[in-house]
Each structure stands twice: as C-alpha cells, then as structure tokens.
Structure 1
C-alpha cells in the first residue's frame, strides 16, 4: 500500500491517511516542464534556440475515501481541507520514493461521492511544485537514506568532507549545482590555517577565494554566493567567485593554506 508523507513548515512529518479516517492514498504522478526560449530574426527563416529552463509543474496525488455516514463524509472532507488550508511550503514524499522529496503548495480538491447515496469518493489533489525539481531528503554531508534512481555508485556513499589539498566531489544530481545562475543550494564550510583560501573546481574552471588569513579556529562559510566568517558577513574579503558542481565527479584543488578542513553540503537535485 502506498503512503504519502507530508511535512508542513517546521512541523513533524506525518502520514496523511492517519489524519483522516477512511482515507487511502492511491498514487502520485507528475511530468516535468521545460520552457525553451528562441530568438526570432527578421528576414530569416526559423528561430534560433537561446536557452531552456525547468518550469513549475503540478504533482497529482490520487485518493480514495470511504465513509459510513454523511456526517463521517462531511467531517473527513473538512479534515482534508483543513490540512490543505496551510499557506506554508509542504515537503511531500511517498514510501515508493522514500529518499526523494518535493516542496509544494496544495490546491483544494473537489471531493464528492462517486454517485448519489454512495459511501465512497475518489478525488485528486493538485500540488504546485514551483522549483520544478525533486530533491534528496538528506544533504550530501548528512546522507542516511538512499533509493533507486539516485545514481549513487551502487549505493556507495561518497565523501563530502576533505582535509587534502586535492580531492573529488561527486554530484549524482540530474543537473549541475549552480548557486549563481540556478540559485541552487550549495554550502562550502571551511576551516583553514594559512594566509588565504582558494578553492578551484578544475573540472569546469569555477573558483572562489577568501583573501584573509586564519588560524584554523574560524568557520568560513560560502553559502551559494555569500560568504560569512563565524556567522558575520565577509563577502567583501573574497573575489566574489562561486563554485559550480558538474554532474558526476568534480576535481577540486585547494591553495593558499597550510591545512584545511572543507565540507561540501548540498541536496541532490533530480528532475
């Protein structure tokens, strides 16, 4: 039996069918959306492709509701609408894809008996997925749950914390992790001793530099394109660079340090 788990805001995750008597989750389905942009040139035939973006799409969740009386039906309908009356972002996942989540907003379903006098109803809830993505439930540095389709090298957990001057970071996502153009979540957490810290992804040429010295006690955080030191703003002390992670393996080189401890923390992104 399939199960649908929801997490509303900071609340604990719950099985929706345990909140509504007689409710059964049947299935979910969705189709990713891409938007292709073209350039029209006056006097020229056809169009020139410019770029493609992933757009928001709907996730359709199908349910079956059984009830013994009209009162039970009205109560169950109210309970369902009450759950979906939230204006907060909802994390949803199923037991079929237990390690992958979507972040969605619900729309109220139309619920009615399958026929006059019937004691059951089938209905669907359409969830809007504004990001157009699916994500791993865990971040790379906290990975505890995996499933099929996550492309994790036969379920071998890669390392995401490093103390060497050169190492490899694995991105099993369907797309590159780009905190600048894609606004993707990528945190690089560093402690180092030395005059400066430069991190270069030699696979794609992206790099970021922190240009002040440290004795190894400070936590330097590159959160996307913003840098902080021990929680205080420090982007002004950088070269305003950022790191992009290609899909698959990325070769990383660290320079300017005597020693370093670096963690790459990000959720895997799937289409």
Structure 2
C-alpha cells in the first residue's frame, strides 16, 4: 500500500481540552507531493514548515472540456469531432502565526521552496485522499496581519485537467471513497477464464493510444498460436498473429509462446523482448463502466492494471 501521508503521531490539529500549548483554532489539511506518484513527501514531515498550515484545500473541481468543432457544408451548427479536458486552476489557502517578523519571512520562504519547482509534480490532499493532481504551483505574496502573522493563496495549475487515483486497479481498494464510482460488490482485475468483465470506475475511457492513459495487460501462461483478446463492449481486438503459410498450413513462427506476455499501452513484449512484429498492432481501450472480454487460444492468468481518472 502506498504511504502518502505522514506517520507522525503528533500531527497538527485544532485545540483539544487540556492542550494548553496548542492554540490552533482549526484542523490543518495535510498535503503531500510526489514526482512519480509513488514516493511521497508530506508537508507535515518538513521541519521548516512547522506552523505553516493549509486551512483551505481545493474544492470539488469543475472539468474544463475543450471541443474541436467543424462546420460541414450548409448543415446547421457544427459537428463535434473530439473533446479533450483543458488545464484548470486549483486554489489553496495558508496561514502562519510565528514568533517574530524574521520567523514569518523564513516560513514563507520554506513554503515557496517546498511547492515551487521547474517541473510538475503530483499533489494529494488529506480531505480527499484517494485522488492526486498533476500540477505546477504559484504563490501569491503573503498578506501580513502584523509582523509575525500572514496568509497566502497558492494557485495550482492542474496540467492534465483530471484527477487520478493514487493506486491502480490491482489495488483498487486504496481508491475507496466518496465520488469514485465504485460499486458495492468487490471488483476483480485478475482472471483465469476465457470470458470476464473488466470494470472501469473512472469518468473517462481508458485510451492508451490517443489519450496516453496507462494500461498494462499482463498474460502469464501459454498459447498454441493465434492468441486473440477482444473487448466486446468497445470492439477493440488485439491478436498475436498466426498467419498461415501458403503451403504447409502451419502457424507463423513465433505465434505460439509460453511465458509472460505484456501489452503496456501500445507496446507488446514477450518475456521482456519487443513483440510488435508478431501482432496486428491492435489497441485495447476500456469504456466507462463494464467491459466484456473474450480471450482465445490462451491458458493462464490475465490481469488489467490501470489508474482511474475522474473529472473532479
């Protein structure tokens, strides 16, 4: 399980009865950042940010669809060719109440050092902990209320325009939470039968070719040739070709296999070696909700590993 937030037992919190040294009037919202979505650094674990608290995290965000339209002849209106989701801005609010003016300036500098980067990174908030956003941050100048107290607004540019699950489908239990489209029944993403259903709980189709969404299909087992994977819901087909020869009526060399076959997005490999030349270069996508699959000429296990994407 991913470790996203701090494990310290004395996390900052609002004043409780008897905590005379703690004058904090609200529960700070913890946030963590990561360059790869796997190794996380919480603001609560950054010593220089002691006393710098996020009191308002981004609200539920509206999607920003961008439509590609075309006018056709004398037809009324326009035809919708495609839609993608544009960038959007997320807002955070911070408060610091320190010892003196120097302490206040150093605290703002520490916040800037923690959030500002030439490169984008993932950020996750404890008030909606199953989702992360791919962002770049911009800090406003601090607004001082006296010499030692300031507030500051931080604007995060969400570069993808969608939120992504922290973990992937193989560990989908880590995405359990409100608003995540998950059904009551337990989901499965590893199968040993030739017919099965793969559920995409996200708000968008998983499309590794056109949208660049990660989707790794791993087959561990064997095939006598002509392996074929069909998503009957979308009509997508992936075939490891077994082209028949003109004279001997035998499958093409390389069609049969035993080992680990991986379709990572649009890149197929067999035991780690490229396998494009033996395939029809088909691409598998996952429609929103249930996807009915049929696999032919394969014996073993097949698993689907992908992150979920949501509008908010």
Q: TM-score, normalised by structure 2?
A: 0.79
2:224: which partner in 1? 195
Q: How far apart, in 2, do the equivalents of 1:59 and 1:210 lie?
A: 44
2:8: which partner in 1? none
In structure 1, the residue corresponding to 2:144 is in which secondary structure? coil
Mapped contact 2:37–2:122 kept (Cα < 8 A): no
Unaligned runs of 5+ in 1: none
The structure 2 residue matched to 1:89, chosen from 110, 114, 120, is: 120
The alpha carbon displacement at 1:16 in A equals 1.7
Q: How far apart, in 2, do the equivalents of 1:12 and 1:49 lie?
A: 40
1:141: which partner in 2? 170
Mapped contact 1:202–1:253 kept (Cα < 8 A): yes
Q: How far apart, in 1, do the equivalents of 2:98 and 2:220 lie?
A: 59
In structure 2, the residue corresponding to 1:28 is in which secondary structure? coil
Mapped contact 2:232–2:292 kept (Cα < 8 A): yes
1:65: which partner in 2? 96
2:287: which partner in 1? 246
Mapped contact 1:7–1:14 kept (Cα < 8 A): yes
In structure 2, the residue corresponding to 1:77 is in which secondary structure? helix
Mapped contact 2:53–2:95 kept (Cα < 8 A): yes
2:78: which partner in 1? 47
1:132: which partner in 2? 161
Verify: 1:268 aligned to 2:268, yes or no.
no
Unaligned runs of 5+ in 2: 1-26, 242-254
Deviates most, 158-167 or 41-50: 41-50
Mapped contact 2:101–2:147 kept (Cα < 8 A): no
1:207: which partner in 2? 237
The alpha carbon displacement at 1:111 in A equals 2.9
Aligned pair in 2 of structure 1 residues 167, 11: CA closer, same or farther (>3 Å)?
Answer: closer
Deviates most, 82-91 or 202-211: 82-91
Deviations 1:47-85 (A, max 9, x none): 333322111112222211222211101211221121123
Q: How far apart, in 2, do the equivalents of 1:11 and 1:232 lie?
A: 26
The structure 2 residue matched to 1:16, chosen from 31, 43, 65, is: 43
Structure richer in strand, relative to its length = 1
2:9: which partner in 1? none
The structure 1 residue matched to 2:206, chosen from 168, 173, 177, is: 177
1:6: which partner in 2? 33
Aligned pair in 2 of structure 1 residues 153, 42: CA closer, same or farther (>3 Å)?
Answer: closer
**Root-mean-square deviation (CA), in Å?**
2.0
Mapped contact 1:9–1:88 kept (Cα < 8 A): no
Q: How far apart, in 2, do the equivalents of 1:269 and 1:106 lie?
A: 21
Mapped contact 2:104–2:147 kept (Cα < 8 A): no
How many aligned positions are there? Answer: 265
Q: TM-score, normalised by structure 1?
A: 0.90
In structure 1, the residue corresponding to 2:297 is in which secondary structure? strand
